Structure 1
Amino acid sequence: MHLVVYGKESLDKTQILVENKFLKIRNIDRCCPSFPGQPCTSEHLQILVKAVPIKQGHKLNIIWPITPSIRHYKEGPSRYLSHLIGHEGEGSVFFVLKTLGWATSLSAGEADWNFDFSFFHVFIDLTDAGHEHVEDIVALLFKYIRLLQQSGACKWIFDELAAICETAFHYQDKISPLGYVVNVALNMQLYPPKDWLVRSSLPSKFNPDLIQSVLNELTPNHVRIFWDSTKFEGNTNMTEPWYGTAYSVERISDSMIQQWIETAPNENLHLPAPNVFIPTDLSLKNVLEKAKFPLLLRKSSYSRLWYKPDKTFSTPKAYVKIDFNCPYAGNSPEAEVLVDIFTRLLMDYLNEYAYYAEVAGLYYWISDTDNGFQVTVVGYNHKLKILLETVVEKIAKFEVKADRFSVIKEMVTKEYQNFKFQQPFKQAMTFLECYVAGNIEPNEAESMIEHIEDVFYKGPQPISLALFPSQHFTNRVVKLERGLSYLYPAEGLNPNDENSAILHYIQVHQDDFMLNVRLQLFALIAKQPAFHQLRSVEQLGYITSLKRRNDSGIHGLQFIIQSTVKVYKIDLFIAKALSPPLKHFLELDRVLNILI
């Protein structure tokens, strides 16, 4: 057994506490069981398993049993290979599959490991077209593995990974105490004492022979391919006994895979380029003032810039959020759908370029909002300005391509049936609401926004116009009348699912500091007894939650419950569960008012 205690008391007090609570636990010197050797015999290798999933879509999981990397965590051979095989930049397997319209995502890495055996996985989400080209996809993967074998392990790639990992470790966000003690207790079973806190986070020993040995295990004669698709329904001959999954197993040979490789598309697979986004300047900016609230740093007819420097966390990170507010974005359901599709297309369009930034710890995403769309960039501030300005420039030059639209449309078919292809924005009128926070100086923040204004509004051929004053919108929330209840029923989408779900919302008040504290206190008081009453006593179901909710400054409480019990009964159980904590809270409130 390994014990980790996290607390604010001194080490002496903590030791006394631990001894009082745990000293009576006997040490019986039991060792962890060992299972040497790979669990997969020859009959489990070189197989293709086709299975029928519950959800729509097509997925491919290509697996090899490998030597576990846990014994070589300083060298990190699987980390090196997962970085290359799972890469999304130009020349990667995913880049080729995406260009061909065969895949929407790819990830790779070691999983299901222990000290005795392990597996290397490549997960691929397929399009309908990709489902028809699985043999070509497997062949392209083996082509890339062959490329890695011929190229040999590259020290410059390992050094990049080591630098990225070291920066990520030293500047990681704070972990919750519960998560931290669980992680450290697990690490104590796997690593020597000097690495209990570091674990495998810092690869530092470049060992090309070790990388090559793992790479040599990714061969056709050791492969296991799992292919899930609803199109296999009615074409399988076996049933899995626990969940009733229909599947079939086929043997594949070296010669079959070799034939796939010979007939696969001859695409330009190559190693990734050096990563220009790896931060090298991690110094903290000399910001003199500590701002309690964001400051309105800059205002024009095109944008507003809110700015807040970091004087609390002292990390070389920054956060930029830009709202592109367009008055026509929420005019109709069709307009909202167009914005949603537009943001997905933008993310797809920018993926190859921005993936390098993501690897280096600099993240961005584009999402639709009620009034347009939002660009967010967060991570190390050293190269953040480069990423933000390039993303904005690419957005300005973006044009929808029919083939990529088809792929994105397929991804959201269940949400948007029969959607007609249109260009979402052409000469739109927009306004930028910008928020910059973190290790950024005021002049840097202003420079970023000035560049965006130049790109969108001030070029020889502006792609956007400023809003008129009457076109500036503020989000509003419908006020629910006191004493009235509202019911919005919706039919479940899955006719085979016995569960119902209820979202029970109680609107409480507008934004107010004292009322916010009171609501937070009540939520804390009510959470445990309500959970116990609804889940343990009434046994409504596993998914039972109570949380506070903030809709544009309007605060409230919401229950989310999933159960086979009828919905109208669940509503009654919620009222019953709230009664005792509400009584307790009102008594506390009365005592507090007396004391005040």
Structure 2
Amino acid sequence: IFCDPADLPGLAHFLEHMVFMGSEKYPSENGFDAFLKKHGGSDNASTDCERTVFQFDVQRKSFKEALDRWAQFFICPLMIRDAIDREVEAVDSGESLCVSGLKVPAGNAQTLKQEPKKKKINVYKRLRAFWKKHYSAHYMSLAVQSKVVPVRKVHALNITWALPPQEKYYRVKPLHYISWLIGHEGTGSILSVLRKKCWALALFGGNSETGFDQNTTYSIFSISITLTDEGFQNFYQVHKHLKMLILSVDQFRIYEEIQKIEANEFHYQEQIDPIEYVEDVCENMQLFPKEDFLTGDQLMFEFNPQVISAALSLLTPEKANLMLLSPEHEGQCPLREKWFGTQYSVEDIQQNWMEQWTANLEFNIDLHLPAENKFIATDFTLKPSDCPDTEFPVQIANSDRGCLWYKKDNKFKIPKAYIRFHIISPVIQKSAKNVVLFDLLVNILGHNLAEPAYEAEVAQLDYKLVAGEHGLVIKVKGFNHKLPLLFHLIIDHLADFSASPDVFSMFSEQLKKTYFNILIKPEKLSKDVRLLILEHSRWSMVEKYQALSAGLSSDDLMEFSRCFRAQLFAEGLVQGNFSSAESVQFLQYITEKLQFTKLPAEVPVMFQVVELPLKHHVCKVKSLNKGDANSEVTVYYQSGPKNLKEYTLMELLVMHMEEPCFDFLRTKETLGYHVYPTCRNTSGVLGFSVTVETQATKFNTELVELKIEEFLTSFGEKLSELTEDAFNTQVTALVKLKECEDTHLGEEVDRNWSEVVTQQYVFNRLNKEIDALRQMSRSELVLWFQEHRGQKSRKLSVHVSSGGGQRGEGHEDAEEDSMYGEVSKLSFLQASPKMAPAVSIMDIQAFIKNLPLFPYHKILE
């Protein structure tokens, strides 16, 4: 992007798109994408400030041909004029969807079409000249692996320094060392002090090592703090705590500890996805000498206090840039950024803050360097098995209060393990209020663990707490030597859960913002509406927002936590370098520490699903973010409770659909950047959908739906003409994907955990799906699609319609005083006559009230 011409910003990113649209040797515009889909592959690309990275993966037998097709994009791309015009529109849609995350312009219709037209710039000629100049072998490296204003409601303080380039000090990694200390979250850290004051929720410091943060011109060091409402009012006080730590950052013990942690992770790392690995190596080849291609970005080789002190000395107030983000700034920012229209203001840093930074600060006993880390593993012995080896997990403990599944790892042979538990409770889904209180419990539990568990995290022991629909999910992984310490810590904090009124108030406000930020995203709102219609007794995000806004107290939370812990069922999975005897102790620790009684009745871990009528229904709602011009349309066809073979048939259908869907709706019709079909498994009930994210300023949602219908009609015609060879090729591709060996233990654990958490226990599901695929016929696939499109189809369309300049969609009454609408209720829109004979849903509860429910269903055979 740094090489973009001043009069054509976004050209580098646009070229990244254009080279993929056919070559002289392989002229088909979407030929490469179709080839990869056919052979179980995928591709992607990204443009950074000083580098553009292209990547793909594919089944090994097709690798040679795929590599040739890929190489032709760089040797002789077509870049035809017609494709350029269409792709400008696609890039424009994509940038509109993600501008909030960008740091520099990546191109849009204004920079690549409208402005050049005014200035009589020939974009076609300039694009080819740019390609010829920059896509040259001496600038490129290749790595292969084969056996051959913020829209969101958030207060944030970002402090940034631009330093001289630090990449040459990669053996010391001074910025990594400094960021490790500033970003530390344990006792004595900056974040610990700010959390005690209820001023901050999160803090991140450092250099991302991406092209924007680390290049040959400069290195960025930044600190980003997510503030509470009170912290926002005291952000100058927040910043002065940084100086206290920076004054005491020069310690060899700390550096040696980080060095040991990084070395442990490197030497015992699990295999990563080959495409990620070759991308990393490819970039390293341009940054480091040959002997450090594999280690230069990971290891800390030598402690050099002079290099570290030199970097620290530059983190001064006169060289800092402060960016304060808050929705409270709405209406106070008179300046507008040219390309994305971001509103902002610029002012000098207050003099009293500068004086506070340079003055002698009072010693704060709460702020100090970390103590020695007790979670760093030192025993990497592989443990012998104490039970027979099995291909799949087996149940080694079972009672009325819990059960445990176990599998000893004898494949990857690394000193690591995974522990997962689903702690099921019947009280969560009793009301929207309970769901909100459960979310608060899990969030505050994470807050309570943040300090004591932080040392475990930096020692490469990871944990995650998830507020599931029917229970608390606890995930722990890492070196097995110290993993029990972390697991016990989590269960101890759950048993002794507490939340002060101040902490409760802070997290209530934050959760309200989280709900709000979900509701104002069209894709999230669309999912919420679809599942509210389909899943019986589900509480919607709007209902949760209403329950939270109605007012809750810390006493409510403490009462809920007692009810939650009273009656439970704990179901777990342990895999890796633990014996079965050690594994059983994790379940025992839960039952003994939490002291709960058995459930009065079995709690289903899924919802019952509404059986849609044999008609087409449309649920059209207004977007809850009036400042967002993006709309979303999802057309869903319900199949019903089906078996494993039918699920695999649906997968195959969607796989056939992917490339023509992209070609028709995105490439030819240019409806939007994100266009995709999906195989849907909604609590055991099958279906498929087609989704388009579009811009309301270009297309209304009803036109998009009609275009989706056109696509499905044309797809049905093509499917009926599918040859046996083409069908067999696609089946083989899907079989190969399912036959892919796990590259690391985590993949196997994820698959097995999915069976445990849904209580299906079909651990050999992949084998059964492969058998079903091999017995499938072309006629079955064609008939399967036709059944969903005929008179007996159960079709549901969900439209989230934006008011961002959209015409004819019922938004004329939009308020002018704010970019946000009322998020505590849904506003339904009547479909126009051109959608006939579709029936509009104007009240979801009234619509589903008398509809039958499918019985609870699991896809087992």
Q: Which amino acid aligns with 2:157?
A: L
Which residue of 2 is the match for residue 395 of structure 1?
Answer: 494
Query: 5 Å matches for 1:61-460?
Result: 61-111=158-208, 112-148=213-249, 152=250, 154-252=251-349, 256-259=353-356, 266=364, 268-287=366-385, 289-413=388-512, 414=516, 415=545, 416-421=548-553, 422=556, 423=558, 424-427=560-563, 428-457=566-595
CA deviations over 1:93-151 (Å, ceiling 9, x no partner): 11111111111110000241112311100001111101111111111112221232xxx
1:502/1:318 CA distance change after superposition, 3 Å: farther
Shift of the 584–314 alpha-carbon distance from structure 1 to 2, 3 Å rule, reads: farther
Question: In 2, Cα distance between the equivalents of 1:568 and 1:28?
Answer: 46
Shift of 1:387: 0.8
Partner of 1:515: 646
Change (3 A) 1:453 1:206: same
Which residue identity is paired with 1:212?
S
2:700 alignment partner in structure 1: 566
Which of the residues 488, 498, 508 maps onto 2:619? 488
Deviation at 1:343, TM superposition (A): 0.8
Q: Give SS of 1:244's match.
A: coil
Structure 1 equivalent of residue 632 of structure 2: 501
**2:284 touches 2:296 (CA, 8 Å); kept in 1?**
yes
How far apart are 1:269 and its partner, in Å?
A: 0.8
Q: 1:19 to 1:531 in 2, by over 3 A?
A: closer
SS in 2 for 1:425: helix
Greater fraction strand: 1
CA distance in 1, matches of 2:70, 2:424: 60
- Give the letter aligned to residue 671 of structure 2: L
Give the Cα–Cα distance (whole angstroms) in 1 for the partners of residues 60 and 591 of structure 2.
Answer: 52
Q: Aligned-pair RMSD on alpha carbons?
A: 3.3
Counterpart residue type for residue 619 of structure 2:
Y
The more displaced of 307-316 and 318-327 is 307-316
Residue from 664, 684, 694 that aligns with 1:533: 664
Paired residues in the alignment total: 564
Q: AA paired with 1:539?
A: T
Q: What amino acid is the match of 1:122? A: I
Matching residue's letter, 1:70: E
Aligned counterparts, 1:454-473, within 5 A: 454-457=592-595, 464-468=596-600, 470-473=601-604
Shift of 1:581: 4.3
> 2:616 & 2:214 partners in 1: Cα distance?
52
Give the TM-score taking structure 1 as reference length. 0.86
Q: C-alpha distance in 2, partners of 1:339/1:352? A: 21
**1:425 counterpart letter in structure 2:** S
Structure 1 or 2: more helix by fraction:
2
Q: Is the 8 A contact 1:221 1:254 kept in 2?
A: no
Q: Conserved in 2, the CA contact under 8 Å of 1:136 and 1:264?
A: no
> Shift in Å at residue 83 of structure 1?
0.3
Mapped to 2, the partners of 1:534 and 1:9 lie a distance apart of: 30
SS of 1:249's equivalent?
A: coil
SS in 1 for 2:294: coil
> Is the contact made by 1:477 and 1:551 (CA closer than 8 Å) also made in structure 2?
no
- Note the alpha carbon deviations across 1:435-470, whole angstroms, 9 max, x for none: 22222221111011111111112xxxxxx32212x2
Distance 1:9-1:256 versus aligned 2 partners, 3 A rule: closer
> Do 2:609 and 2:685's aligned partners in 1 also have CA atoms closer than 8 Å?
no
Which stretch has the larger CA shift, 471-480 or 407-416?
471-480
The one-letter code sitting in structure 2 at the alignment partner of 1:501 is E
Structure 2 CA distance for aligned equivalents of residues 473 and 5 of structure 1 = 41
TM-fit CA distance, 1:304: 1.2
Matched, 1:575 2:709: yes
Q: Secondary structure at the match of 2:712?
A: helix
From the superposition, tell whether residues 349 and 244 of structure 1 become closer, same or farther in structure 2 (CA, over 3 Å).
Answer: same
In the alignment, is the contact (CA less than 8 A) between 2:568 and 2:598 conserved in 1?
yes
User: Greater shift after overlay, 500-509 or 135-144?
Assistant: 500-509
Paired with 1:284 and 1:386, the residues of 2 have a C-alpha distance of 19
Query: Which 10-residue stretch deviates more, 122-131 or 104-113?
Result: 104-113
Q: Do 1:541 and 1:562's aligned partners in 2 also have CA atoms closer than 8 Å? A: yes
Q: CA–CA distance in 2 between the matches of 1:447 and 1:221? A: 56
Pair 1:97–1:550, CA change in 2 (3 A) = same
Amino acid at match of 1:533: F
Whether contact under 8 Å (1:325, 1:431) holds in the other structure is yes
Which structure 1 segments of 5+ residues have no match? 33-51, 458-463
SS at match of 1:488: strand
Q: How far apart, in 2, do the equivalents of 1:301 and 1:556 lie?
A: 35
The answer to whether the 8 Å contact 1:6/1:181 transfers is: no
TM-score w.r.t. length of structure 2 = 0.60
Q: Distance in 2 between matches of 1:24 and 1:224?
A: 43
> Residues 194, 513 of structure 1: CA spacing in aligned structure 2 closer, same or farther, 3 A cutoff?
farther
Query: Which residue of 2 is the match for residue 549 of structure 1?
Result: 680
CA contact (8 A) 1:543 1:561 kept: yes
- How far apart in 1 are the matches of 2:778 and 2:57? 37
Per the TM alignment, residue 216 of structure 1 is displaced from its structure 2 partner at its CA by: 1.1
- Is the alpha carbon distance of 1:417 and 1:301 closer, same or farther for their aligned partners in structure 2, counting shifts above 3 Å? same
Report the CA distance between 1:300 and its aligned residue. Answer: 1.1
Matches of 1:139 and 1:268 in 2, distance apart? Answer: 14
C-alpha contact (below 8 Å) 1:509/1:515 kept by paired residues: no
Structure 2 portions without partners, runs of 5+ = 1-50, 77-131, 141-148, 517-544, 729-775, 781-861
Separation in structure 1 between the aligned mates of residue 484 and residue 454 of structure 2, nearest angstrom: 16
- 8 Å CA contact 2:404–2:587 kept in 1: the answer is yes
CA gap 1:114/1:432 in 2 versus in 1, 3 angstroms? same
Q: CA deviation at 1:78?
A: 0.7
> 2:406–2:575: 8 Å Cα contact kept in structure 1?
yes
Distance (Å, rounded) in 2 between the aligned partners of 1:314 and 1:68: 40
Q: C-alpha deviations, 1:41-90, integer Å up to 9, x for none?
A: xxxxxxxxxxx533322211111122333101111111100100001111
